[in-house]
Structure 1
Amino acid sequence: MLAEVAQATQRLADAGVPSPRFDAEELAASVHGVKRGELHRVADADFDARYWAAVARREAREPLQHITGRAFFRYLELEVGPGVFVPRPETESVVGWAIDAVRAMDSAEPLIVDLCTGSAAIALALAQEVPRSRVFAVELDEGAYAWARRNVAGSRVTLEQGDALTAFPALDGQVDLVIANPPYIPLTEWEYVAPEARDHDPELALFSGEDGLDAIRGLERTAHRLLRPSGVVVIEHADTQGGLVPWIFTEDRGWADAADHPDLNNRPRFCTARREVP
């Protein structure tokens, strides 16, 4: 087993895969129906063409999660595949901040809206970790919505397909927290995007105008419409956009305390703001 994984690791490293050892082990675990920590139970003789076919797909920079059919996010295991944005570890710190903010609120049943939900990772994490919350999520893309619907089945998340800019008008002025991981990559950066994202994630989930901030500008108005006075918005952005996004949530547009926050790598990753009390 170790020799097979080592060979796969070298192939993935040569192909430029960022985490070759982890991916080689995760593919082996997925193919053989075990956890990564149980790979010692798999005999070398059991490594067959299925494993090397999976390695070849990853070698071609197909996302690991598309090959295994699953993505891990905080305490969740989600179904993902072609047509939906694969949740990233960076977003976990965004959700962590949101969870702490909601828990600190004086609300018996916090009302939360997740815009541009994708796989529903954010919505499900909030519903799981804030058990008293009421969570609503919206996704425009038909393919991504199908994955989200599978993931939220049996959960407390209310999911709708539609445009985030006009979503949930019945909740206007009532929401405690609005959260979003919108598209934020500038169109001019297309060639620099990792192949796993550029060639496999939906374009609708990636790119947003010349400076990457078009979607965030639109969601600022949506968040202001939905939030109650003193309600909070949390919105992810690229690390290169640190300092830019808080200027979208300005006092003259009804916001207070707009600020950027770092991710686990200490890079500016998300902006928060509070809806001003009239």
Structure 2
Amino acid sequence: MASPETPLLVSAALRSAAARLASAGVPDAEVDAELLAAFVLGAGRGGVQAAAVRGDALTDAEAARLEELVTRRATREPLQHIVGTAPFRHLELRVGPGVFVPRPETETVAQLAIDALRAAASPSPVAVDLGTGSGAIALAMSTEVPHARVFAAENSVDAFVWAKENFAHVGADNARLAFIDLANAFPELDGTVSVVASNPPYVPDAAIPRDPEVRLFDPPAALYGGEDGLDVVRVLSGVGLRLAHPGGMIVIEHGEWQGEAIRAILTADGWRAAATHPDLTMRDRATTAVRP
């Protein structure tokens, strides 16, 4: 830590933090260093970059706090757990231990659901998010399609607590959260739903995730989906058929190699027009199908 006679400059603190994070194997170490500094300073990332260019210095308290947070991140604790939020589309969702941290890839899944919901013929279409986790997909649909009614189901106590907090924080009047198993979710909506969306656990049981942030911190129930990773997808297909009206769509997130198998599951169950869609990195990320 710098002495009062030689204050620690923001630029030097960022270089030091980025070097520590890079040596710990953190991807995008410079970005994470800037985001941690922004959290400490109560500024945006651009504000931190400007402070570095201006030659601003950190106070001793700020320097100590940044060092503490960088130490945590160097253990591969997720950045989102440290700062307490994760960006998702236009939302800032509160996250922490016990809930799956929403990923940028899932924004593509949400877009598919939102597009289908906007195209629905009903003046007040219904959407369901099964296994909502933090509430990311449900809250994106409810805020971006305000004339829709959105229902979200979650059966993990820890995740439900985070979802409940996010629903309260966002304050979308058209969204409802329920603590219920997805297999039994919302029987009162049977045959009325325009969009059934889900980001289910889809990692095969034997496929241990490479990134420590995922392997050590994401809840196993949100990751692993049986021997081939598709156990929950099979349940979703049947539940979707129960909930969706004719012409309604199902949208399921999955791993980049699972599209063909999921299309086969949906088609065998009676869904039509099964199609797999890439995310922004051009990896297959979601499969959709239409209820006959």
Residue in 2 that maps onto 1:170: 188
Q: CA deviation at 1:240?
A: 2.1
CA distance in 2, matches of 1:193, 1:168: 36
Letter in 2 for 1:25: E
CA distance in 2, matches of 1:120, 1:69: 15
Residue in 1 that maps onto 2:200: 182
1:134-186: CA deviation from partner (whole Å, max 9, x where unpaired): 00001110000000000001222100011011100100011010000000001
Residue in 1 that maps onto 2:261: 244
1:84-134: CA deviation from partner (whole Å, max 9, x where unpaired): 100000000111121112112211011000000000011010011111010
Q: CA deviation at 1:21?
A: 1.1
CA distance in 2, matches of 1:2, 1:242: 45
Letter in 1 for 2:164: R
CA distance in 1, matches of 2:126, 2:163: 19
Question: Which residue of the other structure, out of 283, 287, 290, is the alignment partner of 1:267?
Answer: 283
CA distance in 2, matches of 1:70, 1:14: 25
Work out whether residues 195 and 251 of structure 2, in 8 Å CA contact, stay in contact via their aligned partners in 1.
Answer: yes
Question: Which residue of the other structure, out of 139, 142, 161, is the alignment partner of 1:124?
Answer: 139
Residue in 2 that maps onto 1:44: 57
Q: Secondary structure at the match of 1:225?
A: helix
Work out whether residues 237 and 269 of structure 2, in 8 Å CA contact, stay in contact via their aligned partners in 1.
Answer: no
Are 2:216 and 1:203 equivalent residues in the alignment?
no
Letter in 2 for 1:33: G
Question: Which residue of the other structure, out of 6, 9, 24, is the alignment partner of 1:15?
Answer: 24
CA distance in 1, matches of 2:115, 2:261: 24
CA distance in 1, matches of 2:272, 2:115: 19
Bigger Cα displacement from structure 2, 31-40 vs 68-77? 31-40
Q: Which runs of 5+ in 2 are unaligned?
A: 1-9
Bigger Cα displacement from structure 2, 79-88 vs 100-109? 100-109
Are 2:270 and 1:254 equivalent residues in the alignment?
yes
Are 2:151 and 1:136 equivalent residues in the alignment?
yes
Q: CA deviation at 1:221?
A: 0.5
Letter in 1 for 2:22: A
- Count of residues paired in the alignment: 274
1:51-89: CA deviation from partner (whole Å, max 9, x where unpaired): 011001111000000000010000001111111100000
Work out whether residues 204 and 225 of structure 2, in 8 Å CA contact, stay in contact via their aligned partners in 1.
Answer: yes
Q: Secondary structure at the match of 1:270?
A: strand
Question: Which residue of the other structure, out of 46, 50, 70, is the alignment partner of 2:85?
Answer: 70
Q: TM-score, normalised by structure 2?
A: 0.91
Letter in 2 for 1:139: E
Q: TM-score, normalised by structure 1?
A: 0.96
Residue in 2 that maps onto 1:229: 246
Q: CA deviation at 1:254?
A: 2.1
Question: Which residue of the other structure, out of 20, 30, 43, is the alignment partner of 1:34?
Answer: 43
CA distance in 1, matches of 2:152, 2:69: 33
Bigger Cα displacement from structure 2, 241-250 vs 107-116? 241-250
Q: Which runs of 5+ in 1 are unaligned?
A: none
Q: CA deviation at 1:242?
A: 2.6
Q: Which has more radius of gyration?
A: 2
Q: Secondary structure at the match of 1:239?
A: coil
Q: CA deviation at 1:50?
A: 0.8
Work out whether residues 18 and 29 of structure 2, in 8 Å CA contact, stay in contact via their aligned partners in 1.
Answer: yes
Q: CA deviation at 1:41?
A: 3.9
CA distance in 2, matches of 1:65, 1:71: 5
